[in-house]
Amino acid sequence: MKNILVINTGSSSFKFQLIQMPAEKVLASGLVERIGQQNSEIHFTSEGYSGKQEQDVPNHSVALKAVTNLLMDPEKGVIKNASDITAIGHRVVHGGTTFSETTVINDEVKQEIKSLFSLAPLHNPPNLTGIEVAEEVFPNAKQVAVFDTAFHSSIPAKAYKYAIPNKLTEENDIRLYGFHGTSHKYVSEQAIEKLGKSDSKIISVHLGNGCSITAVENGKSVDHSMGFTPLSGLIMGTRSGDIDPSVIFHLVDKLGYSLKEVNEILTKKSGMLGLTGFSDLRDIETEAQKGNRECKLALEMNAYRIKKYIGSYVAAMNGLDLLVFTAGIGENSSTMRNLICENMDFLGIELDPSKNDIRSKENRIISSESSKVKVMVIPTNEELEIARQVDKLV
């Protein structure tokens, strides 16, 4: 038996699971959310405890140390000391062209992850922090990186290339990479199992603070909304998603912003935060229900962008068998799912309102009996997928 600690550091959250492999038994799990905000919360569940505590969590380093203390707590915890951990699987967002598979971490790997900071500024830095803190706390455990970009290595050139001089693609690796790959891989495999056939056409919609959508044909990623970095595509918590590149030149040349300021605006001050003043969709939905026009419009814009991607991927695959919603918003927001799927009957997508309103942690169909395309909510389990890959490697 191996105890594998899986660390998944998002842009504003820190998820973890301690999984006993190969039995796939979860010994402990939890979430640190709203990192860097005043109302941070630590959720922790083990066999003998389930609860949450409010704590000041200014950064990801503090988050990991707090989780480690809980894991080794005499009453709440599940391990006695650090040596009980066999390996640690780290979700790393950007692997560039260097990494297309799960990799044991050494100094060279860490340096490569660091070199990609500029391409994933919200993610690779906390990913590397998680690795470095884990090395300190668990010095005897094998550290392993699982890259978000790996699942998208199957995307064909017609989809991953940009219409820029070939030299920039060939010599500077400027291309679409794709992200949230571990999540899209997990839920698409669950969807294929539900369909009972491998020759399938699936669209996986991952909606959280970061959002992305993937076209999955016969189990392989064939197109994806994020590109060179996790900035493009759908509207996100603080990221703009797709935008005319000329806006950047206008901000710099005409309005006097520096490139650093523009990068800050597009990655940390745009998206739902820029539109509403809130980055958390729960707050935005609450305000929209109160009649806040900006919040109502932002929800409509968010859904409209997703609709356009769904339509384009149906065209690209010449069909669709199953539409999947996953991640925090995709799994829990019936409002967003309804906004996305309404008026999509031409494409054979029709929700059952009563099924859509059900809250559950189980895989479930939420489409109507007459819907030609099945619509499902499949809770993602990136941690289990990472543990499986780490287990194979170590």
Residues 258, 319 within the same domain: yes
Residue 96 falls within a domain, yes or no?
Answer: yes
Regarding whether 211 and 82 lie in a shared domain, the answer is no
DSSP 102-152: -EE--HHHHHHHHHTGGGSTTTHHHHHHHHHHHHHH-TTSEEEEEETTGGG
Does one domain contain both 51 and 139?
Answer: yes
- pLDDT attached to residue 11: 67
CB 2 within 8 A of CB 394: yes
CB 46 within 8 Å of CB 102:
no
Same domain, residue pair 202 and 143: no
* Domain of residue 290, CATH code: 3.30.420.40
pLDDT in tens, the chain (394 residues): 899 999 887 767 788 999 999 999 999 999 988 887 778 889 999 988 888 888 888 887 888 888 888 898 888 888 888 888 899 999 888 888 888 888 999 999 999 889 888 777 778 888 888 898 888 888 889 999 998 888 999 999 999 999 999 999 998 889 999 989 989 999 999 999 988 887 899 999 999 989 999 999 999 999 999 999 889 999 999 999 999 999 999 999 999 999 999 999 999 999 999 999 998 899 999 999 999 999 999 999 999 999 999 999 999 999 999 999 999 999 999 999 999 999 999 999 999 999 999 988 899 999 999 999 999 999 998 889 899 989 988 8
Cα→Cα distances 266→104, 124, 229, 239, 328, Å: 33, 17, 12, 6, 22
Same domain, 24 and 91: yes
Is residue 143 within 8 A of residue 168, CB to CB? The reply is no
Q: Is residue 201 part of a domain?
A: yes
- Same domain? For 133 and 202 the reply is no
How many CB atoms neighbour CB 329 within 10 A? Answer: 23
Residues 214-242 pLDDT 10s: 999 999 999 999 999 889 999 999 999 99
Q: Are 321 and 200 in contact (CB under 8 A)?
A: yes
Report which of 175, 242, 244, 182 is spatially closest to residue 17, judged by C-alpha positions.
Answer: 182
> Annotation-wise, does 330 bind a ligand?
yes
Of 111, 125, 89, nearest in space to 230 by CA: 125
In this structure, the answer to whether residues 91 and 32 fall within a common structural domain is: yes
The residue written with tokens 């040596």 in the block is: 83
Start-end of H helices in the chain: 60-71, 107-115, 124-137, 157-160, 166-172, 181-195, 246-253, 259-268, 271-276, 281-289, 293-317, 327-332, 334-341, 353-356, 382-393
Whether 206 and 139 share a structural domain = no
Q: Is residue 163 part of a domain?
A: no
For residues 110 and 211, membership in a common domain is answered with no
91 among the known binding-site residues? Answer: yes
What string of DSSP letters covers 325-337? EEHHHHHH-HHHH
143 in a structural domain:
yes
Q: Are residues 221 and 287 both part of a single domain?
A: yes
Q: Is 209 annotated as a binding residue?
A: yes
| Residue 210 annotated in ligand binding | yes
The distance from CA 191 to its chain's CA centroid, rounded to whole angstroms, is: 18
Identify the domain containing residue 143 by its residue range: 2-147
Q: What are phi and psi of 365, to 5 degrees?
A: -90, 130
Residue 42 lies in a domain: yes
DSSP class of 82? G
The gap between the terminal CA atoms of the chain, to the nearest Å, is: 12
According to the model, what pLDDT value does residue 63 have?
85
Is 331 annotated among the ligand-binding residues?
yes
Query: Known binder of ligand: residue 329?
Result: yes
8 is annotated as contributing to ligand binding: yes
**φ, ψ for residue 368 (rounded to 5)?**
-75, 165
The backbone torsions φ and ψ at residue 381, rounded to the nearest 5 degrees and listed phi first, read -140, 70
Residue finishing a domain among 109, 124, 147: 147
Binding site annotation covers 382?
yes
Tell whether 244 is covered by a domain: yes
In the block, tokens 């990494």 appear at 99
Structural domain count of the chain:
2
Do 129 and 261 lie in a common domain?
A: no
Catalytic residue flag (residue 73) = no
Torsion, Cα 77 359 306 262, to 10 degrees, reads -40
The reported pLDDT for the residue numbered 218 is: 94
203 and 115 together in one domain: no
- The CA–CA distances, whole Å, from 146 to 53, 95, 233, 383 equal 29, 9, 23, 10
**Would you say residue 189 lies in a domain?**
no
Cα–Cα distance measured from residue 99 to residue 105, given in angstroms and rounded to the nearest whole number: 11
**Cβ-contact 290, 278 below 8 angstroms:** no
| Cα dihedral 260/131/206/163 (nearest 10) | 50
Catalytic residue among 56, 73, 84, 148: 148
Cα(107)–Cα(113) distance, integer angstroms: 10
Q: 161 lies in a domain?
A: no
Q: Is the pTM of this model over 0.95?
A: no
